[in-house]
Structure 1
Amino acid sequence: MGALLTAKGLTLAYGGRRVLDGVDLALARGETLALLGPNGAGKTSLMRLVAGRLPPDAGTVHVEGRVPHADRAARAATGWVPQEIALYPRLSVAENLGVFASLAGVPRRSRAAAVAAAMVLTDIEPIARRLVGQLSGGYQRRVNIAASLMNRPRLVLLDEPTQGVDLTARAAIHAVLRRLRSEGAAILIATHDFGEAERLADRVAFMAQGRIVREGVLTDLLVSLRAGAPEREVILSGAADGQAEATLRRLGFAPHEAGLVWRTAERGSGLDGAALLGTLRAQGVPASEVRVRAPGLESLYLDALRPRQVTGIPSARAAGAAR
């Protein structure tokens, strides 16, 4: 099937600082693409351009062949779910959705049906009469998603849709996104949650300093990565002193999670888990556990971004050639 969303050479600057630098992107119907990258990488700015909230300084973006910032039909085909909760806390869930249906241009005679359909899709019918301000964060985020669905958009953009919610709410939101995908919607999701991206995405794109530095089918990228040695992770029982840190770094580990977890920067130390644990303890490292596992999306992310920290920002093709 042809691409529902296409972006070519997108460039954008704020206050003289370039936040997007030649971004190319395509997304088909029924496909989910996860954007991953550090804060300031350009993920939200890219979504704003796709949603038609502002035009690019250079390049083009099309949704169903239309230019979003200049064409209302393109904007109507796109549901935009911002990171912030954009709801009226003193109105009920149903009243909120009615307001957003009106703002989306849904004819008055069709609004009740649009509200009802969005509530069914997001599984919030039981709370239709409750005030939004009295809901949990997870329910508010589901209502936030429902508010973007008044025109049954073919493209849905979500910026950190599960930020700050518990595991139960996260699972409910993921179920909503799977329903949208099964109905043929294209989904573009920006997230810092690697587990979320692995569960939901067909493809992933890693962003750094305004560019997509690597992109591909998630399963293909993981198969390639897992063809090598397994990943090793050392759990410390306490903070490592200078000598312990030097030992860990010499064996190829780097700190993670406040320094109590160290992971291999380059996989494969030549020792199995038990031997590595013994070696570390013998050299004064307060290691309580060594985990050996197949590398996942976080390893892909770190590998994709690592060259930019050392050599600037080569293209994804150049970075791949360098490997």
Structure 2
Amino acid sequence: MKAGADILGRRDAAVESERGGRPALVLTGVRAGYGGLPVLDGLDLTIGQGEVYALLGPNGSGKSTAARVACGLLNVNAGLVEVGEREVVLDHRARRCIGLAPQETALFPALTVRETLTTVARLAGLRGRAVGEAVERALEITAAAPRADHRVASLSGGWRRRANLAAALVGDPDLIVLDEPTEGVDAETRGQLARAVRSAVAGGAGCLMISHDAAFVEATADRVGVMARGRLAAEGAPQALLDQTFGEARLLTVRLAQPAEAALARALEACGLEPRDGGRHWRRLAADAANQAAGLSALVDEAGGEVAVRRPGLDDLVARIVEESA
């Protein structure tokens, strides 16, 4: 895909020059997998200081494996993994510079949030007054202070997500790794988590994020990378990738309660729409989507359905790039 290739061509040098220092994370030619089965196939990835980078892609594309490699939780078969100036495999100190918020929250259920953060801060190497200061800062950034003295086991899902992120930030890491940070949260918590991530990287940390939450990614990420078959198929700023991939095209969708009857199906097919979900959903990407929607509205209304036109989003971007990479 030309857009992806163009953006991939501006890789590491651009990131380092824009951020004014050595990248927070560099993966070079990484090959890794499980039980002899390859997942990552020569992955190259660079994340700058102060940058939020989201990995997107279908299940099995290698996103979680890349995150595990970046954290030093999975050894590579080939290639290099560097956090700051340290190689993760060879220098154990690199792992202490990484703050991980896994999909399954890694907290101590019997402890309060404050006690948990204190423990994590000490494990990260902080001592003395620096521990308390770091805990208060993490509580403030994530807006978790109202539950600081509550036991983790008593927290709702949203508050656990805040505490999970606070635990990743409390050691003032050089690299933050977030795996599905908004799973199961409401809109208010999602917004707070986005502000917390942006606040954390403002201090110079880099952030690698895996998320299926397109709205959260759009609100948080400076760049996204779309993975396919263990490699990056495209990367760039979210809106730039959308513009280069879709241009002025809009997505026309028709949703029906029941599969389209023959006459309506013929009309939809004549307009170039493709059926999904057994004929209940139809869609087409086109520059004239608005005009087509107007022409179809009466027929669809009569069938009890609805017509919509919208800009393509990140989910559409991933589907297009993965399809073209197949």
**TM-score under structure 2 length normalisation:** 0.85
What is the CA distance between 1:45 and its match in structure 2? 0.8
| Matches of 1:48 and 1:263, distance apart in 2 | 37
| Matches of 1:202 and 1:302, distance apart in 2 | 20
| Matches of 2:133 and 2:53, distance apart in 1 | 29
Summarize the alignment of residues 1-323 of structure 1 with structure 2, pairs less than 5 Å apart. 1-2=20-21, 3-240=23-260, 248=268, 251-254=271-274, 260-264=280-284, 268=288, 271-278=291-298, 286=303, 288-308=305-325, 312=326
Residues 1:299 and 1:112: Cα distance change in structure 2 (over 3 Å) = same
The aligned amino acid for 1:299 is D
What is the CA distance between 1:29 and its match in structure 2? 1.0
Residues 1:298 and 1:130: Cα distance change in structure 2 (over 3 Å) = same
Residues 1:262 and 1:222: Cα distance change in structure 2 (over 3 Å) = same
Residues 1:299 and 1:179: Cα distance change in structure 2 (over 3 Å) = same
Residues 1:189 and 1:259: Cα distance change in structure 2 (over 3 Å) = farther
1:231-267 Cα shifts (integer Å, max 9, x gaps) = 2111223333577556545543345689644321566
1:205-236 Cα shifts (integer Å, max 9, x gaps) = 11123221111222321232453332211122
| Matches of 2:79 and 2:231, distance apart in 1 | 13
Residues 1:274 and 1:61: Cα distance change in structure 2 (over 3 Å) = same
What is the CA distance between 1:139 and its match in structure 2? 0.7
The aligned amino acid for 1:17 is L
1:73 aligned counterpart, secondary structure: helix
1:88 aligned counterpart, secondary structure: coil
1:107-149 Cα shifts (integer Å, max 9, x gaps) = 2553222222211221212211111111110110111111112
What is the CA distance between 1:55 and its match in structure 2? 2.1
What is the CA distance between 1:39 and its match in structure 2? 1.6
Q: CA RMSD in A?
A: 2.5
The aligned amino acid for 1:276 is L
The aligned amino acid for 2:226 is F
Q: How many equivalent residue pairs?
A: 306
1:148 aligned counterpart, secondary structure: helix
Structure 1 vs Structure 2: percent identity of aligned residues? Answer: 38
Unaligned ranges ≥5, structure 1: 313-323
Give the match for residue 9 of structure 2: none
**TM-score under structure 1 length normalisation:** 0.86
The aligned amino acid for 2:314 is L
